Structure 1
Amino acid sequence: MDSFLKQAADIDRLRYLYSRAAFGATPAELEEMARKPLRKVVRQLVRESDTMVDLNVVEPDENKSKKQLKGLVRDGQLDREMLKERIRENAERVRDLNLQWLDRMATGKAALREKMALFWHGHFACRTQGRNPLFTQQYANTLRQNALGRFGDLLMAVSKEPAMLQFLNNQQNRKNAPNENFAREVMELFTLGRGNYSEHDIKEAARAFTGWQFTPEGQFIFRERVHDEVEKTIFGKTGAFKGEDVIAMLLEKKQTAHFITSKIYRFFVADGPVNETEDKKRVDDLAEQFYKSSYDITDLMETIFTADWFYDPKNRGAHIKSPVELLANLRHTLGVQFDQPQPQIFVQRTLGQLLFYPPNVAGWPGGKNWIDSSSLLFRMQLPNYVLKAADVTVRPKDEGDVNTQLLARKGNNKFRTTVDWTSFEAAFTKTSDAELTDAIAVTLLPFPLRADQRTLLKKQTKPGQTRSERIQTLTAAMMSLPEYQLT
């Protein structure tokens, strides 16, 4: 019997691990990993993410920011055509950053780091005003750099990013005129969760964050002259606190560890609210470990991925792939390369998850929100569009953002791709024709094929097809099943 079916249980478990902890795995990767103990596989995922290469589409001295506005003024008047051109250039740089990050996800290198960074992008959701490419690039690299480190370091670093300070209006937070937006979101969305602080805590913390600003060149700066030095009382403590003191207080609270652990558990383990007693107990235990480890993210993720309960059948197929996960997974599994960049932006917009354009400060809601009547059909047709290089007539959703509309210009629905079928097919060289369907299915789908699915797949293949043609037909058909949308 083919090695895939001999090791079907191990390969199914690894397919599940790589779909949750990474962006899928090729059949060859699954076959190789199936020879190793699970703990070593998880360690390898971690080890491969030890290093990071920065995303880079703009240099600091190229920043299209305040100091360059001088070039947009003619005869004392703002040149609106030049301003439009500048906005278009910025949008294209952010698009390039989007595609560069998606490429990193799809390669499979440092996959755990990139998957964690995608999670943090939803947690620390942020859009830069004016689509500032330098601020966006710095923000993305900060997420990626700290994705597997200590949460306290990540929280501090992201909180000081110009993109975040700008998005949450802290540049306008000054003594005698405090702006509470930044302080509120740091507590409500980034650390404690709603209801675990008072309005007084927010008001006092906002005063502590006065002076946290940034330069046009993208550098964090503390401006003492606008900082409120008067004593504040936060969480029952009184002192002349600054922003760093507030961050430290938040990390001292076990509620922060519990809130973050709950979100990680929902994202990587059980999609949706943690309601069952068993899940609550696990989250409580994980949160306690997370807190005692000084918020060590890698330690937390290793514990999750090596736990028997992570592989519980009730969790299999319970997570709907986000649009970015779906696209990166498809690309990695089959080595897909797009001849032109625009279709990948088109897919993200159409399915409702455009990197660097979260809908609001709370990020993408995820779960069943990824699926609606307008997107489900396109999701299921996507593999055929990509693998068969077809033109698409679907229009992306119009969420009213002129900046995202700039990314949806000509040629965005011309799907021209190169697929590495040679590598994919090579993994099934020893597979008999009789076992081929099941061997492919175990690498792509979270559940065994049902009788009606087998009948459907059989109808897709045609008499006289070469083996290569049959593999390609079966693969495209399986990727078009509803179950391929799940992990």
Structure 2
Amino acid sequence: MRVKALRIFFVSSGVALLAACSGDPGGGGFLNSTGQVTVTTPSPTNVSAYAAARFLEQASWGPTPQSVQEVQRLGMSGWIDQQFKTAVSVAVAPSYVIDYDDTDRVIRDKAWAFFPKTFYDHTLGGPDQLRQRAAWALYNFIVVGSAGYAYGKVEYYNTLQRGALGSFSDLIRNVTLNPLMGEFLNNNQNRADRPNENYARELMQLFTVGLVKLNPDGSVQRDATGKALETYTQQDVIQATKALSGWNNDSNPFLPQTNRSNYGKPMIAETWQGAHDSSSKSVLGSAISGGQSASQDLDSLIHILVNHPNTAPFVSRRLIQNMVSSNPSPAYLGRISAVFSSSRGDLAQVVKAILLDPEARAGDDPTQQIARNGKMKEPVLAHTNLLRAMGCTQAVADSKNWHSDRVYEAWTQQAYFAPSVFGYFSPGHTAPESLVPAPEQKLITADELRRKASDLTNRMEVKTDFTQAGCEVDLFINAAATSDEALIALINERFFKGALPAPLRLGAKNLLSQDLANQTPQRKFTELLQILISTPTFGVVK
């Protein structure tokens, strides 16, 4: 039955997926005679529920009835300003995460289970939704993989949380001195007499300026033969490595093995002769004076990198891709790059500009969508959207398959555990055949779709896992018991911004009246929902 139902829904919603991946500017964009998007940022008095929910798909971990009402009351700009004032959600590691026997699997698993639970507690119930989404966008290109111990992961998460809406320069400095980053990219082994180039190279290639020179609108600069111009040379890597030398963990012999790097404190500059290279340096054509300390050299290097003309479009593109659109227009990227440059990397201003840009808001009226806009929801985002729409306010236990220490996670994407320094996906990954950038599509595998289309019913067999997490399961079950129309209407409101397409609505009605007619109300709810959320209509932020 499930295979048959999936076939019906994928066929009926295939048009939405094609529209989301299309790069054809004539495929639905509404432009004025000058070629500019004509949309006015909604005021508090004219934000529709649809527009508010769509905005929250970009700016939060997913809309809820309460957050939709809040955006309608405050307006989008007002909601953003309120979020700037909201306290940071940080993870406070208990002692069993900081000091544990790493050879004992049960104890080790308990220590590592703390972060996923805390992450989902924050995403589902934390008030600082915008900061969390901005931190997630930053993590997608300023990556720490699976290095270190459990406490290290907690404190790297905190570093991004605290810096996500602050100065980009401060963020890069704090990331550079984060002990887990020091371990992951080896800058804690970088000495004047034993240079290690790993961090210097990735700092430039992945975190700031990128490999090729860019114009402010993100277009690539090329020579007379059409070859892309490189941003930096190997000599720049060598010089940056010297500027980054001499840092190590603030460690001592009394720390436990599982906190050997003293993860809760930034790295410190070593003072012994030969640790830091204090010679004069030149990086990307800018001089760094000789005789400076390790801290002064770090500040000089960060100033060079953050103020390089490449950094504004490089960072802006990644933030736009991770929040609003996988394929932003040159004009959109140019506007955000200008904000980054004029504000000297003020991430709060940049994020606000990204979310309120006319290109981001064009689809607030579903009849005015621009075909090239939108992004696919990576598994973590789709999962948090699902749970928040169900009303869950904290992590859902996974006692059906594991034990009380484990939580119901996105199966094919473990949050803050990217597989490599290149993250979960390349920003240039393209949709098959269309060749339009669609980075998140790399994660929309057959396994991801299969689990999405069958997992919820399985997990809901332990209903108390959901009810104890605040999920409004009974609300949906009661709707299913009332009538098919009541269930469809509630799912439409919570999961589809009140705009469930007619083909999906008809498919849902037929499925409930035929294949699911004899199922319990709970199974009607879960079976129908898991099929609907497997469609592009749910899976694309459009």
TM-score range, shorter chain: 0.7 to 0.9
More off after superposition, 473-482 vs 184-193: 473-482
The 5 Å alignment of 1:2-401 reads: 10-31=48-69, 33-47=71-85, 50-59=86-95, 62-63=98-99, 84-85=103-104, 89-127=107-145, 129=147, 131-195=148-212, 196-214=231-249, 215=251, 216-218=261-263, 219=265, 220-225=267-272, 226-238=275-287, 239-240=289-290, 242-272=297-327, 274=328, 279-312=329-362, 313-314=369-370, 318-336=374-392, 338-340=396-398, 342=402, 348=409, 350-351=411-412, 353-365=413-425, 366-389=439-462
TM-aligned CA deviation for residue 92 of structure 1: 3.4
Aligned equivalents of 1:375 and 1:472: distance in 2? 17
Q: In structure 2, the residue corresponding to 1:283 is in which secondary structure?
A: helix
- Checking the alignment, whether the CA contact within 8 Å between 1:389 and 1:416 is kept in structure 2 is yes
2:248 aligns to what SS in structure 1? strand
The alpha-carbon deviation at position 116 of structure 1 amounts to 1.2
C-alpha offsets along residues 138-170 of structure 1, whole Å, 9 cap, x if unaligned?
A: 211111011111111111111100000110011
Name the residue aligned to 1:483: 537
Distance in 1 (CA, whole Å) between partners of 2:419 and 2:345 is 28
Cα separation, partners in 2 of 1:11 and 1:315, compared to 1, 3 Å: farther
The answer (yes or no) to whether the contact 1:173–1:210 under 8 Å persists in 2 is yes
Distance 2:110 2:416 in 1: 12
Q: Which residue of 2 aligns with 1:77?
A: none
Cα offset for 1:291? 1.5
* Amino acid of the structure 2 residue aligned with 1:449: L
Contact preservation (8 Å) 2:117, 2:407: no
Q: For each residue in 1:397-421, what CA deviation from the matched residue of structure 2 results, as whole angstroms up to 9, or x when unmatched?
A: xxxxxxxxxxxxxxxxxx9432633
Match of 1:67 in 2: none
How far apart, CA to CA, are the structure 1 residues paired with 2:520 and 2:51?
31
Report how far residue 122 of structure 1 moved. Answer: 1.8
Maintained 8 Å contact 1:210/1:227: yes
Letter of the 2:120 counterpart:
L
Name the counterpart of 1:449. Answer: 500
Match of 1:71 in 2: none
1:111 CA drift (Å): 0.8
Give the Cα–Cα distance (whole angstroms) in 1 for the partners of residues 195 and 108 of structure 2: 31
Q: 1:383, CA displacement in angstroms?
A: 3.5
CA distance in 1, matches of 2:109, 2:299: 33
1:265-312 per-position Cα deviation (integer Å, ceiling 9, x unaligned): 11122114x4xxxx1122112111111112111111222222332123
Higher helix share: 1
SS in 2 for 1:332: helix
**Aligned residues of 2:53 and 2:63 also touching (Cα < 8 A):** yes
TM-score relative to the length of structure 2:
0.70
- Tell me if structure 2 keeps the 8 A contact 1:150–1:297: yes
Q: Residue type of the partner of 1:485?
A: G
**C-alpha distance 356-470 of structure 1, shift in aligned 2 (>3 A):** closer
Tell me the distance in 2 between the aligned counterparts of 1:143 and 1:135. Answer: 13
Aligned counterparts, 1:431-442, within 5 A: 437-438=488-489, 440-442=491-493
The alpha-carbon deviation at position 260 of structure 1 amounts to 0.5
Render the CA deviation track for 1:158-195: whole Å, top value 9, x for unaligned: 11000001100112211122110010011111100113
After superposition, give the CA deviation of every residue in 1:16-66 in whole Å (9 maximum; x if it has no partner): 11111111122344245435533333334444xx212420224599446xx
In the aligned structure 1, how far is the partner of 2:519 from the partner of 2:447? 34
TM-score with structure 1 setting the length: 0.77
Structure 1: 5+ residue stretches without partners: 1-6, 65-81, 391-414
Which residue identity lines up with residue 60 of structure 2 in the other structure?
A: A
- Alpha carbons of structure 1 residues 467 and 30: separation in structure 2 relative to 1, 3 Å: farther
Report % sequence identity: 22
